[in-house]
Every structure is written in structure tokens, then in C-alpha cells.
Structure 1
Amino acid sequence: MNWINLMIEIAMPIILAIVTLIVGLALIRVFVRLLKNQIEKSKLDESLKPFLVSVLSVGMKILLVVSVIGILGIPVASFVAILGAAGLAVGLAFQGALSNLAGGVLLLTMRPFKVGDYIEGGGYSGTVKAIQILYTELITPDNKMIYVPNGVLSNAGIVNYSVHDTRRVDFTFGVGYEADNQLVLTTLKEIVTNHEAVLQDPEPFIRLSAHGDSAVEYVARVWVKSEDYWTVHFDVLEQVKTTFDDVGISIPYPQMDIHTVN
């Protein structure tokens, strides 16, 4: 009977540890779900919400594992020491993951962008959906999801197109050398000033900028609200082509004059 008692003594902690692990994981999932709902309803910054949920979920799972280790009778202090040594080895092996973790903390601390901003960085561009513990989620204009490592973003230049309320739209138009200079300037000015989304302060800038190989180049620079950038960009391009055709201003294609000498 002694061996039966011995088996019971050995099996009970194992069974209790397994039950604790299963129940604990289930409770963590429920708690994280409830916590996520509460955080979503809170007034916390949108950038912090997914990051906070991720950190709390990982933290609770670590505490659960430590509790299970204690139930099995393994000294927690020894386990923590082993875990620290293992963590050092894993850290050396996964330097990229640690870099991404540090990058996430840096991005949330320095706040070069927030959820909802349209950014460009690390070779990618899109609207920020979430800043996770290891990566940032970007949604492209054609609805693709891009997962950019936080380490890449924190170590690269970031262009944030959503910081300011206004942006400048720059245009360059080439016209034939035979075109009347004043007619071109007047036509361009009428087009941009008549567009309802173009701001009149600062005043639109329109000047002849270069004598090209095949055309005279004019620049037009106008200020718009950030959300109207692409609308103005495409509207003005279309209107310039239509109006130039109507008033007889040619838009030349690249060409070369060849002179032969006998």
C-alpha cells in the first residue's frame, strides 16, 4: 500500500498543477477580454490600449507559470534564478525581439505618432491601427495590413503626415515654348484659386521655374487641409489638362530636334 500512497503523493501535485494551469489560462482569457473591453471604453490614448493589454496578458501568464511551479514543489527562488539565466540566453538569441520590445516602449514614450495617423517609416506607409508590444500595425490605402517591427520604426526616420492640419500640394507643368507666358500663369492661377478646397492663406504660388529640354516648366504650390490633399492633387491635374486644351496651351512630350549638315 505504501507504493499507492507514494503514487498519490506524486500525482496529486501534478494533477493540481495541470488543473491550475488550465483554469488559470481560461480565467486569464476571460479577464483579458473584459479588461480589453473596459480599456476600449476608457479615455486612454488609442496608442496605449493594445500595448497595455498585451503587457498585462503576458504578465499574468508569467505569474501563472510561477504559481504552477510552486505547486509542483519546485523552489520558486531557484526557478527564478534558472529563469533569469535562461532569459539571458534567450535574450542573446532573440536580440531582434528585445529590440522590438524596446522600440515599442520608445515609440509610446516619445510618441512620434499615434493611432489614426498616416505615417511613412521603415520602408512602409499607412494608417496606424495599433502599436503592439513587438510590432506596429499599419493599414495601407488599398486595405492591406502591414506589421512593422517596432525596432525598425524606432531606428528609422518617420514621416507623420497627420501632425499638422494643412499640407502643401506641389505641381509641375510643362508647356510648349510657343505658349504665351502670361496666359499660362493666368490660367493656372484661375484653376487653383477656383478650387473650393484650396486655401487662399497662404496664397497660392505660381511661377515659371525652368527652361527644360522639351518644355517650359511652371510650378504651382497650394495649401490645403490634410484630408483634402489627394482630392486637390487629382482635381487640379484633370482641370489643367482640360483647360489647357480649351485655351490652346500645348503640353509637349519629350522630343529632340535633329539638324543635318551636308
Structure 2
Amino acid sequence: MDQVMTWVSENQELILSYTIKFVVALLILIIGKMVANSVAKLLGKGMQKKGVDNAVISFLSAIVKSVIFIAAVLMALSQVGVQTTSFIAILGAAGLAIGLSLQGSLSNMASGVLIILFRPFRSGEYVEAGGVSGSVDEVNIFQTVLKTPDNKVVFVPNAQITSQPITNYSREATRRVDLLIGVSYDADLHKTKEVLESVLAADKRLLKEPAWNVQVHALNSSSVDFIVRPWVKSEDYWSVYWDLMREIKLALDQNGIGIPYPQMDVHFFKQASQD
């Protein structure tokens, strides 16, 4: 006991120095944890106001909290005299190894965050994304869930979606219906245009503005092609498309305007024999 007391009395300055360093390191950890929680909470509130998905909020908040706390731990270790250079090197190597092994998953995760932040589509919208067409059912961190018109559920990796063009068919309130109608070369073009416009005029779902457009589009090998382009509300697109196709066929038949099929004229020439 006397030896301990003697050692303490002889090393009072050293003990006081390490005690202060330990207390400072402990304060750094406590303050670092408080700062990490506060920053993560503020970040979460800011993203909630912008309507960011809760999964992304919790994910990003956890990352920010972890980064700040790890920095506080390194500062605390440095304060008590521990060389943190080796720790940083080990963390860097571990991060690189994890990143390489989870490259695909991390890519999908980053793409999921971008999708939710920039909102190229929302739940319920009909899109073509990642080579798949369907209604958006759910957007997760790693994948987006689409439902096809025939009620199939397709899980599309987020990285596949962000690496290709995205077509959103539901974002705008109106859409243009593009029809290509071919009639025979014997048809009266003025009468054909009148018949097509009468079909459009009879459908009350078509919008007055923008006005529809009916024009001769091309002279094909076996038909004269008309473009028929009315505007409709997005939710009426397919019903109008199918109804117009049926009504146009019936109207053309009633007016004796033929719809040709591909055909080929073969001409025979008789060559006089030479005697």
C-alpha cells in the first residue's frame, strides 16, 4: 500500500494529465453523440417536409449519425494518446472491401435514394422504366415494384431503372391519341377526311383544346395513310383509343371507303418468238 501511495505521489502530474485527457475524451464522446442525434433529427425533419420516403429518411439519418459518431470516437482516442492513423487505414480498407463485395446492392441503394428524392414517378402512375411497363406499386431502397396490366408483379432493380430512360404516362393530365389509318388509292381523300372528323366529333370525351388533327400522312405502297390525332384526358386514353378504332372502321365501311391490305401487282409480258 505504501508503494502505491509513493507511486501516486511521485506521478501526480502524470495522473492528473491522463485524468484530464480521459475526461476530455469522455466529453467528446458525449457531445459527439448528442451532435450526431441532433443532426440526424434535423435532417429527418427537413426530408419529411419535402415528402421524402420514410425508408430513405431512416437510412440517411443512420448514415449521418454513424459518420459523426465515428469521427467523435476517433477524436476521443486521439485525445488519450492512441494513434488513430492505423484505425483510419483499417476502416478505409474495410469500407473498400465491403463496397466491392456489395457493388450491385450499393448501386441499387443509391439509385433508390435518387428515385425517391427526384420523384420521376409516384405510386399509382403508369410508367415504362427499366424495360418494364406497369403501374408503380412501391418504391423500395433496392428495387421498384411494378404491376403490369395483366396483373403480374415485377421487381425491377433500381439501378436498372436509373440507367435507362423513364417514360411516365400518367404525370400529365392530357395525352394525344395517335392513330394511323390507311385507305385505298381509289378512296376520295376529301370524303375520307370528313368521315374521320365526323367520328371524332361524335366522341364527347375528346378535348376541344388542343384541337384534333386529321391529315394525309404518307403514300404507301398499297395505301394512303391518314394520321388521326385527338387529345384526351390521360385516364381516358385506352378507352378512347379502342373505341375510335372500332368506330372508324365502321364509318369507313358505311361510306364505301376501303381499307387495303398489302398486295402486289404482277404483270406478264408475252414476248414474240423469233423464227
State the TM-score, normalizing by the size of structure 1: 0.70
The within-5 A match list for 1:17-166 is 45=51, 48-49=53-54, 51-52=56-57, 55=59, 85-166=93-174
| Alpha-carbon distance in structure 1 between the residues aligned to 2:107 and 2:206 | 43
Separation in 2, partners of 1:81, 1:118: 47
The answer (yes or no) to whether the contact 1:176–1:249 under 8 Å persists in 2 is yes
The root-mean-square deviation of aligned C-alpha atoms, in Å, is 2.7
* Alignment match of 1:239 (pick from 218, 230, 247): 247
Amino acid aligned to 1:48: D
Q: How much has 1:182 moved relative to structure 2?
A: 1.2
Which whole-Å CA distance do the structure 1 matches of 2:230 and 2:242 have between them? 13
Counterpart residue number, 1:255? 263
Distance in 2, matches of 1:152 and 1:187, equals 46
Task: State the Cα distance separating 1:51 from its structure 2 match.
Answer: 4.7
Q: Which runs of 4+ in 1 moved over 2 A?
A: 42-45, 49-53, 77-88
Deviation (angstroms), 1:84? 6.8
Asked whether the 8 Å contact 2:174–2:234 carries over to 1, the reply is: yes
2:179 aligns with one of 171, 180, 201? 171
Does the alignment pair 1:202 with 2:186? no
Q: Which amino acid aligns with 2:195?
A: T
Distance 2:87 2:240 in 1: 63
Q: Is the 8 A contact 1:169 1:221 kept in 2?
A: yes
Measured at CA, do residues 228 and 49 of structure 1 come closer, stay the same or move farther in structure 2, by a change above 3 Å?
Answer: farther
| Aligned-residue offset at 1:88 | 3.2
Structure 1 residue 89: Cα displacement: 1.6
The answer on 1:189 being equivalent to 2:197 is yes
Instruction: Name the amino acid aligned to 1:133.
Output: I
Question: Does structure 1 retain, via aligned residues, the 8 Å contact 2:56–2:113?
Answer: no
2:234 partner letter: S
Alpha-carbon displacement from aligned partner over 1:88-114 (angstroms, at most 9, x marks no partner): 323201211100011011112222111
SS across alignment from 1:116 = coil
Aligned equivalent of 1:214 = 222
Change (3 A) 1:197 1:261: same
Change (3 A) 1:52 1:146: farther
Letter in 1 for 2:168: N
* Count of aligned positions: 203
User: AA paired with 1:98?
Assistant: L
Segment of structure 1 superposing worse, 167-176 or 103-112 = 103-112
Question: Identical aligned pairs, as a percentage?
Answer: 44
**2:160 is paired with a residue of what secondary structure?**
helix
For 1:150, give the aligned amino acid.
N
Q: Distance in 2 between matches of 1:134 and 1:208?
A: 48
Query: Take 2:116 and 2:258, find their aligned partners in 1: how far apart are those partners?
Result: 52
Task: State the one-letter code of the partner of 2:126.
Answer: Y
Alpha-carbon deviation of 1:155? 1.8
- Quote the offset at 1:122 in angstroms: 1.3
The alignment partner of 2:124 has SS state of coil
TM-superposed deviation, 1:168: 0.4
Residues 120, 159 of structure 1: 8 Å contact kept = yes
Q: What are the ranges of 5 or more consecutive residues in structure 2 without an aligned counterpart? A: 1-47, 67-83, 271-275
Note the alpha carbon deviations across 1:104-134, whole angstroms, 9 max, x for none: 1111222211112111121111111111011
